[in-house]
Amino acid sequence: MAKWNRIWSACLVFIGLAWLFFPKTFPWTTKVDEIGKRILIQRPSVTPALKKISHFPTVPKREKIQEKGKVPESPLSQLKARMERVVQQCGEVCQTSQNRTRLIGHKYYNVVVKKFNCQQLFDNNDMDGYALFPTPPKRIPGFLRDGFTYQNRVQIRPSYRDDSKGKSHTLIWTEDKVAKLRSSLQRNQLQGSYGIGEVKNIQAHLRQHMNITDQHVLIVGSQSPWLEVIALEAGAKRITTLEYVPIESRHPQIKTIVPKDFARRFLNGTLGQFDAMMSFSSFEHSGLGRYGDGLNPYGDLITMARVWCVLRDGGMVLIGVPTGPDVLAFNSDKIYGPLIYSHLFANFEQVFTKANISNYSHHCPHCYQPIHILRKNLTLFKGAI
């Protein structure tokens, strides 16, 4: 009898433990009905309860989310859609294929003509681009490769830089700062951003090929007013600097503007026309993403076409960019050779340059930046643009 008592006690203990630790595994439970009788009822499924607990969120099917439009597009999809809109709006400016390029002659490079729709070039936020990636892409997306390489006629070399976290605060150009730089220039000691040699070279080109006395000069891409000081010393009456980084100028002859406001003022007719444009080592970075801008194979071409739009007939251009064989050092900069130059200078008269591609050095690809002088000449291109 003692043996059976021990067995029975062990069974009761086992049943008790099972009920204590695994209550939800039993599909049935007891309940006292209205008259006090114990009855068996089916235990409700635990799944609905779990669905209400935040630790166990229910995930809707992907196709249902897509139907409601709640799935954001990937950065690549957004970039592709944006570039499709850009190409549609910029027209011939972004047309670089060999069989659709119109030529009317050759000087230093082929003279290319394109129809510019200035209204569309400014009335489109997509063209200036915007960053879609947390850091600048290290590789060119496949759907942009043809644009960046001019249909595989421009070589690509890796040269990655991430300067997207650069200056974002407002820069201040005081009248005293400009005066000190100008004094340094007068003593032949101005270093500028690229050394005394480049400063003297720019001055020589202004004296010999481009009179800007009493003129309104547009300067594209400048975070230090060294180029502005050169223009003032050459006799410029007014200067407007176009730069992505906000700049507060306290000099009475220098005004600054960001691209968004530049476009707005062009569209509402308050921008006016410029007599000349100057830029040094700026265009080659446009559209490569290095500085946090959106990828755009035609960024430099669009910017140059906009310059054409805001220049008066006969207005002059002084520009310096890295020069050599046609190369894209992604994402650092472009090296401009005969092909890219011909499209960058579309609709401009090529006035003067001493550029010699043989001066290019692989050891310092961006070091050789010869000056080019151009002119907006509507008579020369009459009937073609």
Among 90-94, 134-138, 187-191, 302-306, which stretch is predicted with the lowest mean pLDDT? 134-138
Mean pLDDT of 304-332: 98
Determine the Cα–Cα distance for residues 376 and 308; give it in Å rounded to an integer. 7
Average pLDDT, the chain: 87
Question: What CATH number does domain 90-376 carry, 3.40.190.10, 3.40.50.980, 3.40.50.150, 3.30.360.30?
Answer: 3.40.50.150
Q: Is residue 187 within 8 Å of residue 265, measured between CB atoms?
A: no
What does the pLDDT read at residue 63?
40
Confidence band for 71, pLDDT divided at 50, 70 and 90:
low
Determine the Cα–Cα distance for residues 78 and 66; give it in Å rounded to an integer. 16
Higher pLDDT, 122 or 43: 122
Q: Given the DSSP bridges, would you call strands 28-32 and 38-42 parallel, antiparallel or unpaired?
A: antiparallel
Among 98-107, 124-133, 316-325, 375-384, which stretch is predicted with the lowest mean pLDDT? 124-133
Higher pLDDT, 143 or 49: 143
Among 162-166, 223-227, 301-305, 354-358, which stretch is predicted with the lowest mean pLDDT? 162-166
Which percentage of the chain shows pLDDT scores above 70?
80
| pLDDT reading at 69 higher than 90 | no
Higher pLDDT, 18 or 269: 269
Mean pLDDT of 28-47: 46
| pLDDT reading at 50 higher than 50 | no
Among 203-207, 289-293, 295-299, 337-341, which stretch is predicted with the lowest mean pLDDT? 289-293
Higher pLDDT, 54 or 344: 344
Higher pLDDT, 53 or 262: 262
Kindly give, in sequence order, each residue whose CB lies less than 8 Å from that of residue 341, ignoring residues fewer than 6 positions away: 108, 109, 323, 372
**105 three-class SS:** strand
What does the pLDDT read at residue 4?
57
Please give the backbone phi and psi of residue 60, each rounded to the nearest 5 degrees, phi first: -65, 155
| pLDDT reading at 217 higher than 70 | yes
Q: Is residue 340 within 8 Å of residue 101, measured between CB atoms?
A: no
Q: Which amino acid is at 119?
A: Q
What does the pLDDT read at residue 112?
98
What does the pLDDT read at residue 336?
99
Confidence band for 131, pLDDT divided at 50, 70 and 90:
confident
Q: Indicate the Cα dihedral angle 305, 306, 310, 315, nearest 10°.
A: -30
| pLDDT reading at 52 higher than 60 | no
What does the pLDDT read at residue 3?
55
Among 40-54, 66-80, 82-96, which stretch is predicted with the lowest mean pLDDT? 40-54
Higher pLDDT, 244 or 35: 244
Chain segment 228-274, per-residue pLDDT in tens: 999 999 999 999 999 988 999 999 999 999 999 999 999 999 999 99
| pLDDT reading at 58 higher than 60 | no
Chain segment 156-189, per-residue pLDDT in tens: 999 999 998 876 678 999 999 999 999 999 999 9
What does the pLDDT read at residue 132?
84
- Integer CA distances (angstroms), 365 to 213, 323, 327, 358, in order: 34, 8, 9, 12
Which percentage of the chain shows pLDDT scores above 90?
73
Determine the Cα–Cα distance for residues 292 and 146; give it in Å rounded to an integer. 22
What does the pLDDT read at residue 196?
97
Every domain of the chain and the residues it spans: 90-376
